[in-house]
Structure formats: C-alpha cells, structure tokens
Homo-oligomer: A and B are copies of this chain.
C-alpha cells in the first residue's frame, strides 16, 4: 500500500477495520499454538477457526464479488470456514472444527494479512455505500467472534484440571451498591434501531411502537452472594421454582450451581480466565442460563424484564460499563450509578430477558446470503441485552439484541430482576361461569 494516492476514502472505517482485525490477534496472543485448536463442545469453536472464519466473511462477501482480480487464498477454505450460510454452500460440520489442524495457525495468519491488504486497497479506491455497509457489518461480525473467542476458550480451558490462566488478574476490593427498585411508567413506547442512527443489525429493525404496563427494574444485576443464597435455600432442589423445561435440565445435567462454580464444602471457587479462584461475592453472577436466571427471579418473587422494558430503560443511558476494552475479561463489581439510574445496564454481564427472540413487526431480513445472519435463528432462543465483559464497547447499543438457547450458559450471562406494578389482574383466573 505504498501508492501515494492510497488514502482510504473512508478513513474512519478503514482504521476501525484495521483496529478490529488487529484486536482479534491481540486476543490470541496469550494462547499457545496448542490452545488455538481447542473445541470443548459443538457450540464453541477453536480460536484458530474464529480467526479464519472472520477472514472468510470478508473474502466471501466482499473480496470475491467485488474484486475480480483478487486471488482467493485457497478455494477449499470457502467450504471449510463457512459457518452456516446455506446461500454460499455446504459447510464443514461444526462439531468437527477442532479437527482442522490444517490450515495451521501460521497459514491462517497469512490469510488474514492477504485479506486485510486487499480490503484496505479496496477501501482506498471505492466508496460504494453498499461496500461500506458490508465492511461495517464485517467489523461487527468480527467483534462478535472476539467475544465468542473469549467465552469459547474459557469453556475449553475449563475442562483442563490444570486450570489454565489466560491472563492473571487482581481481585477487586469493592462492594456492590445496595439493591433498589427503579420505576417506569410504561405507555406506548418505541423500541428498535432508528434509521440513520448508525450501525445496527437487521434484527433491531424496524423501530416500532409497543405498549408497556408500568414496571420496575432492579438497580443492578444480581450478585454472586445473592445467587449463593438461592443455592443455599435449596434453589436447585425445588421444582416449584423452575420452568418445566428448566427442571428437566436441572435433573439431566445434575446442575447444582452456575457453570464453572465449585461448591465442595470449602470457600466457593470458580474457574475464570485468571484460573481457579475464590468467588468474589459482590460481582454480578455470570454463566447462568435462562432457566437459572428465571428460577432465581421466581425465588425472589420477581421476574425477568422483557426486552422492550429493558430497552426502554436503557435508551437514554450512555453505553458505559465493563467491556472487553478494559482487558479484565471478567465482570466487575457494580459501582453506584447516578440517582434513579440503573447500574451496569451495559457491559459486565448479558442480561437474560423474558422475551423470546422473534422478528419485530414488519421485519425483513437482508437480501442474499447475508440475510441468514440473524433472521433464521428466530425460534427457540431468548433475548439477552446489554453486552458483557467480553463485548466491545463500540459494538453495543440499547437496541442490540443478543440471543441464545435457554439451556446455554457459557456466555457471561447474568440476571436483572423486574416486577410489574399495579398488575391489572382480575379476581380468580379460573373463575367459574
């Protein structure tokens, strides 16, 4: 890129692209070559695969269709690193990604370099808005995979009784602020991304009206101490606290605590990216699945917020909190926020909502294979909001919709309580005629 005229036409975007691509590699720096191939279960992918797949995304959706002279690095990678885009073609089976020792790590890095160079050249000469939109999409796509890379390697490491340390970390000497309720009047509100507001995914659109009854939100997420009290009160042994599918999960999984927790009599411990350590009780509890978050809320006599309630409450807040940008790779203890403002709405832990992941009224996915990005997953999953300690701050916003199956818990996923105010209930729900 020595040409004198190769100033990118969209300098901000080109730089953001370069930064994002570089950050993926920064995240892999603490990993050995051996670590780069780990895949503990079908839901997680090896770090090397994440590096390759994000590269595949740019090569497949941008370079191949837009650069006739671009020589694909290896035609066979189109199949190997396709995640789930049927519009592109068949996919190498997801549970076997750990078997791809070839291409090796060094080759993947070379591929990344070739694609990065070609992208920068392209951006220097082309400012087609559709191109820029795709590059922006590729950046956010890579940020999502950065988060997965961290949660995936944490999961894979957790099966190794040597308790690998991804990065050492000091404990915090902090207390969570006292719990309080924040009230919201509801009414006819709008949620969803606004055209012109900046990047957003198709699943955040169209912005639309929704009626909310009055509700209250917890001033902060539930903490490890609070969740421990739930456990000690028999939380995992009382079916009346669980959804039916949740109770089935408890029994089949033999669940007794959040993922990564060890409760064997002594001081409670958990596996973290800093190794196995004593649980810091003031931290927001993480690695809950939907069933656990819901059961905890029931035990409290409360419920989870809907995604509309959450977004309504978050809409005017700054996107501030514990993100991957702080390089802690672990949730932080909440700081007291401004008065009447919920703390930790963004960052630290994703917050399970009571909302199923479904299309907004009038939703239409993008055209072409890129349209498979979000829309086809709109069944059987629940929405999470707010981002976590593994998310990039720039990646998040109030309208952002994350989604996972209700039994999964390898994300940094926690719980924020909600309750309905003046619930408009009739007398007996099964009143006789």
Which positions in A face B, CB cutoff 8 Å? 13, 32-38, 40, 48, 76, 79-80, 84, 86-87, 92, 96, 98-105, 129, 132-133, 135-137, 156, 159-162, 164, 188, 193-196, 198-202, 204-213, 239-240, 242-247, 290-291, 294, 303, 306, 354-356, 358-359, 361-362, 364-366, 372, 376-380, 382, 406, 420, 423-433
Contact = CB atoms under 8 A, between A and B. Distances in A.
Nearest to A85: B239
Given A34-B33, A86-B247, A425 B358 contact: no
Nearest to A32: B104
Given A105-B34, A213-B208, A378-B243, A430 B355 contact: no
B377 A243 contact: yes
Nearest to A246: B379
A33 to B, nearest CB: 4
Contact of A356 (B156, B201, B246, B356): B356
Contacts of A135: 432
A429 B202 contact: yes
Contacts of A377: 243-245
A290 B424 CA distance: 31
Given A244-B377, A246-B379, A195 B161 contact: no
Contacts of A98: 37-38, 98
A368 to B, nearest CB: 10
B156 A423 contact: no
A14 to B, nearest CB: 12
List the number of copies, as a whole number. 4
A101 B163 CA distance: 11
Contacts of A162: 76, 80, 102-103
B34 A432 contact: no
Contact of A430 (B84, B161, B188, B366): B366
Nearest to A211: B211
Given A99-B160, A101-B38, A406-B379, A431 B199 contact: yes
The 10 closest A-B pairs by CB, nearest first: A195-B426, A362-B423, A356-B356, A202-B429, A198-B433, A34-B101, A86-B239, A211-B211, A244-B376, A33-B33
Nearest to A422: B362
A129 B420 CA distance: 28
A41 B257 CA distance: 30
Contacts of A36: 34
B425 A206 contact: yes
15 contacts: A33-B33, A34-B34, A37-B37, A38-B99, A99-B160, A133-B432, A199-B433, A205-B425, A206-B423, A206-B424, A206-B425, A213-B362, A243-B376, A245-B379, A291-B379
